[in-house]
Amino acid sequence: MTTKVASKAETILEVRDLRTSFFTEAFEVKAVDGVTFSVPKGKTLGIVGESGSGKSITSLSILKLIQEPGKVVGGEINFKGENLVTKNEAYMRKIRGNEISMIFQEPMTSLNPVYTVGQQISESFRIHEKLGKKEALKRSVDMLKLVGIPSPEKRVHQYPHELSGGMRQRVMIAMALACNPELLIADEPTTALDVTIQAQILELMKDLQDRLGMSIIMITHDLGVVAETCDYVAVMYCGKVVEYADVKTLFKNPRHPYTVGLLNSLPRHDIDLEDEELSVIKGNVPSPADMPEGCRFAPRCPFASDICKERLPDLETDENGNQIRCWVYSEQWDGDPEVNIYAERTS
């Protein structure tokens, strides 16, 4: 395979070999271990995987919000050509909430219960745009209007506990978009919301993206959300990207056994669950303190051969820019030469 790297003019964020670890007295936990991906301007990248795969740690690493005993130990995070790994805290404070914003998983724990909604949205305007209190509050009302909250002049004076879950999530989006960021990181933005509200939030984010021209990183375990909102997908497992492709390619022709397993775990309209059980990925995610020597998915993979158990494959890039970390597609593959991973998806 040949390597194809998108030019800086095409991407707003390029992450290369990112490594983030947590240190204990006994061992080093490699939560993010050599992650590489890029986010094109104006597009949405979905990052998917099971709990513990490193999705959220990757997003926090981008904003340099990893706290002790965690630390970004290597790699590059190139945002508009600047490597954020090398930047100090003062520089990052100017970036956060201004050029890169983040929607956190739980709005009730992310919003401060002792401040009104308006006070919390106003903070971005006062810090980054140096607005006065009155003007910042007026802009906060405008942001609540933008995200579709009714009676914004009233809501701006309310506290988080006075709002519904859907409204709190909209407030989080309003806070994230206050300074018109170029990149929005959304970490499970629809978790704990009912299906109707989920659809409204996702539609709102897509509409705002179209209107504001921002790029989005959508972190989720829900492949339905990915299919509906994303242009590209990075599949993570045990701190590593195992597959990267445009969303249509990934759903039509998944290549990594883990990706196939995730897709097979989705309910399908053409299967009667009274006759067939829902497919599952057998086994468990390995402990961070005891990772397999070879491919990390090998203990759960139905196609694993000797080389899979002994050596970790590289992330290879094809001529279309799609990436795969799997020995099956290598000239060194020592398993069944007739293996067809995609057939598992279509059977």
Stretch 172-199: mean pLDDT, rounded? Answer: 85
- Can you give the pLDDT at residue 5? 43
Q: What is the CATH number of domain 11-99+181-346?
A: 3.40.50.300
Is the CB of residue 92 less than 8 Å from the CB of residue 62?
Answer: no
C-alpha span between 171 and 177 (Å, rounded): 10
pLDDT above 60 for 1: no
Q: What is the pLDDT of residues 20-68, one digit of tens each?
A: 999 988 888 999 999 999 999 999 999 999 888 999 999 999 999 999 8
Nearest by Cα to 122 from 134, 137, 132:
137
- Can you give the pLDDT at residue 271? 55
pLDDT above 80 for 124: yes
Q: Give percent of the chain above pLDDT 90.
A: 59
Q: What is the pLDDT of residues 188-233, one digit of tens each?
A: 887 767 788 788 888 888 888 988 889 999 999 888 889 989 999 9
Radius of gyration of the chain (CA): 21
Helix (H, G, I), strand (E, B) or coil at 102: strand
- Can you give the pLDDT at residue 89? 94
pLDDT above 80 for 95: yes
Burial 111-147 (b: 16+ CB within 10 A, else e): beeeebbbbbbbbbbbbbeebeeeebbbbbbebbebb
User: Which of the four pLDDT bands, split at 50, 70 and 90, describes residue 277?
Assistant: low
Per-chain mean pLDDT for the chain: 88
C-alpha span between 126 and 201 (Å, rounded): 26
Burial 320-345 (b: 16+ CB within 10 A, else e): ebbbbbbbbeeeebeeeeeeebeebb
C-alpha span between 34 and 16 (Å, rounded): 7
- Can you give the pLDDT at residue 270? 57
Stretch 128-136: mean pLDDT, rounded? Answer: 92
Is the CB of residue 178 less than 8 Å from the CB of residue 143?
Answer: yes
- Can you give the pLDDT at residue 4? 41
Lowest mean pLDDT among 134-148, 189-203, 273-287, 297-311: 273-287
- Phi/psi for 298 (5° steps) reads -55, -40
How many CA atoms are closer than 13 Å to the CA of 207, on its beta-carbon side? Answer: 10
pLDDT above 70 for 343: no
pLDDT above 90 for 249: yes
Parse the chain into domains and list their residue ranges. Answer: 11-99+181-346, 107-180
- Can you give the pLDDT at residue 2? 38
C-alpha span between 333 and 257 (Å, rounded): 15
How many CA atoms are closer than 13 Å to the CA of 169, on its beta-carbon side? Answer: 22
User: Which of the four pLDDT bands, split at 50, 70 and 90, describes residue 169?
Assistant: confident
The sign one gets for the Cα dihedral 225, 48, 69, 92 is: negative
Q: Which two tokens stand for residue 252?
A: 């039509």
Nearest by Cα to 59 from 15, 124, 25:
15
* Whole-prediction pTM: 0.87
C-alpha span between 243 and 230 (Å, rounded): 15
pLDDT above 90 for 180: no
- Can you give the pLDDT at residue 233? 96
User: Which of the four pLDDT bands, split at 50, 70 and 90, describes residue 276?
Assistant: low
Amino acid (one-letter) located at 210: D
**What secondary structure letter does DSSP report for 159?**
-
- Can you give the pLDDT at residue 274? 57
Is the CB of residue 231 less than 8 Å from the CB of residue 200?
Answer: no
User: Which of the four pLDDT bands, split at 50, 70 and 90, describes residue 287?
Assistant: confident
C-alpha span between 220 and 126 (Å, rounded): 31
